[in-house]
Structure 1
Amino acid sequence: MVNFKKLCAGALLATAMLGVGGLLPSAEAGRLQDIQERGTLLVGSTGDYKPMSYLNKETGKYEGFDCEVAELLAQSLGVKVQYVPTTWKTLSADTMAGKFDIAISGITRTFARAKDMDMSHGYLLFGKTILCRKEDAKKFTSEADLNKKSVRVMVNPGGTNEKFALSNLPDCTLLVHPQNAEIPSLIAEGKADVMITETMEARRYVRDDARLAAPLIDDPFTKNQFGILMAKGDQEWLNYVNFFMEEKDMDGTLDKLEDEYIK
């Protein structure tokens, strides 16, 4: 027979030893606890992607769909948002270095990112498409129309737009411009012919600039979802972010934000 008194006594002794730094180290505090103790949610953003996350140079404030989501996430934790600037080129390195609690800036869910970092469940279905001048809209009806030496395709460095162009448009004249938010105006001014972008961004810029068109917006080259990016290894924090996004999807908040910033 099992001696339950001895078994319980042994369990209590092991628990006591673990609690005072005995056989095993105590678990480090997770990011949830860090955020609440700090009183701020550190949010990484490129600030150059309308309508998802955009730094308004006139007001100095971040605006857009993802910025609203970040504010609501912070409110759910009883803290404030503090933005941490990043770039598409340094986004992965900054995330893995723990420079912020989340990165949310119209970030595409990819296998490459999921391999090295944690990503939330997807939200907002979109795809790769193009922006061009309105008078050129009939020139670009397929991917083949872009893949020509005579077509100047402009992208921002380090993100999925550049990767798409390198993989799918090897024969185009590829131009890399460091400021993503400036590219639509450069297209409108004739400094390049086409911008590789996402349907979300294309809709916003066509709405804001009558010189631009997005002829392939209803038939994008790819289908993807955005995700919230985090350093790998904190399952509790990932679970919380996923739960938060699921709740905001079910209560209609994400639909309202989509109507406000995208549609």
Structure 2
Amino acid sequence: MRVCTTGDYRPFTYKDPRTGAYSGIDVTMAQDLAARLGVKVEWVPTTWKTLMPDFTARCDIGMGGISISTDRLHQAFFTEPLLTEGKTPITLCSKVADYDTVAEINKPGVRSITPIGGTNEKFAVKHYPQGRIIRWKDNNTIFDEIIAGRADVMTPDASETVWVASTHPQLCAVHPDKPFDFSQKGYLLPQGDVVWEEVVDGWLAIAKRDGTYTKAAQPWFKDKPLTPAP
């Protein structure tokens, strides 16, 4: 089972640069799906910028915190939604009150950092035209830029802000329970392969109800468990 994943989006997917080993919620889920099908996982590295061409050319499924979007739906199927959330800011804990609205972030001089490609960059470009957008290549080090004072704020998915805040004491998620917009995450599937879509959707329905997903998420969200979409 060829799985496209970026390996840079904890808590969903992470590739250890020293060992090459993958970990994350969706890594565990991919391994569970493969085990239930009696096949092995073949990881296919990709980036947010190249996710769709890599997926359509080389993969059976795309996993790793992928947001469902109209652009992606033009090129692939998605499974049933896995999570429901939206974009919300993360910044230094001392600056939460300064960046809790779009209007406050969309100001000259406010430095919004975002990974290149994907929905975070699109959100920043659309909503912060008056601010300064910093495009960062490495999603594993992007939050260090805020801590170091070289960026002011980032607006990723709420689930990521909760995890980052739990691992970086200097950073706080800004109203993750009331995000700026609505989005859902799912797994990418080849467009037109209805049989494979039914297989994966069937597995996902079981995994969300038999504790498989909760168990996969638990090590990453001990204090604030993730609730899968119905």
TM-score between the two structures when normalised by the length of structure 2:
0.93
RMSD of the TM alignment (CA)?
Answer: 1.2
Please name the residue that 2:158 is paired with. 199
Query: Which of residues 157, 170, 177 in structure 1 aligns to 2:116?
Result: 157
Letter aligned with residue 184 of structure 2: Q
Q: Percent identity?
A: 36
Once residues 126 and 11 of structure 2 are traced to their aligned partners in structure 1, the CA distance between those partners, rounded to angstroms, is: 26
What 5-or-longer segments of structure 1 have no aligned partner? Answer: 1-40
| Aligned-partner SS, 1:87 | coil
Once residues 131 and 52 of structure 2 are traced to their aligned partners in structure 1, the CA distance between those partners, rounded to angstroms, is: 27
Please name the residue that 1:96 is paired with. 56
Assess if the C-alpha contact under 8 Å between 2:9 and 2:64 holds in 1. yes
The structure whose residues are more often helix, as a share, is 1
Query: Which of residues 209, 219, 231 in structure 1 aligns to 2:190?
Result: 231
Pairwise CA distance, 1:133:
1.2
Please name the residue that 1:171 is paired with. 130
Letter aligned with residue 90 of structure 1: T
Please name the residue that 2:84 is paired with. 125
The ranges of structure 1 where at least 4 consecutive aligned residues each deviate by more than 6 angstroms after the TM superposition are none
Once residues 155 and 88 of structure 1 are traced to their aligned partners in structure 2, the CA distance between those partners, rounded to angstroms, is: 12
Assess if the C-alpha contact under 8 Å between 2:13 and 2:22 holds in 1. yes
Once residues 53 and 104 of structure 2 are traced to their aligned partners in structure 1, the CA distance between those partners, rounded to angstroms, is: 35
Please name the residue that 2:75 is paired with. 116
TM-score between the two structures when normalised by the length of structure 1:
0.81
Once residues 47 and 237 of structure 1 are traced to their aligned partners in structure 2, the CA distance between those partners, rounded to angstroms, is: 24
The answer to whether the aligner puts 1:182 opposite 2:166 as a matched pair is no
| Aligned-partner SS, 1:217 | coil
Count, aligned residues: 222
Once residues 165 and 215 of structure 1 are traced to their aligned partners in structure 2, the CA distance between those partners, rounded to angstroms, is: 16
Pairwise CA distance, 1:59:
3.2
Query: Which of residues 15, 29, 33 in structure 2 aligns to 1:73?
Result: 33
Once residues 140 and 181 of structure 2 are traced to their aligned partners in structure 1, the CA distance between those partners, rounded to angstroms, is: 22
What 5-or-longer segments of structure 2 have no aligned partner? Answer: 225-230
Assess if the C-alpha contact under 8 Å between 2:159 and 2:176 holds in 1. no
| Aligned-partner SS, 2:65 | coil
Larger radius of gyration: 1
Pairwise CA distance, 1:161:
0.2
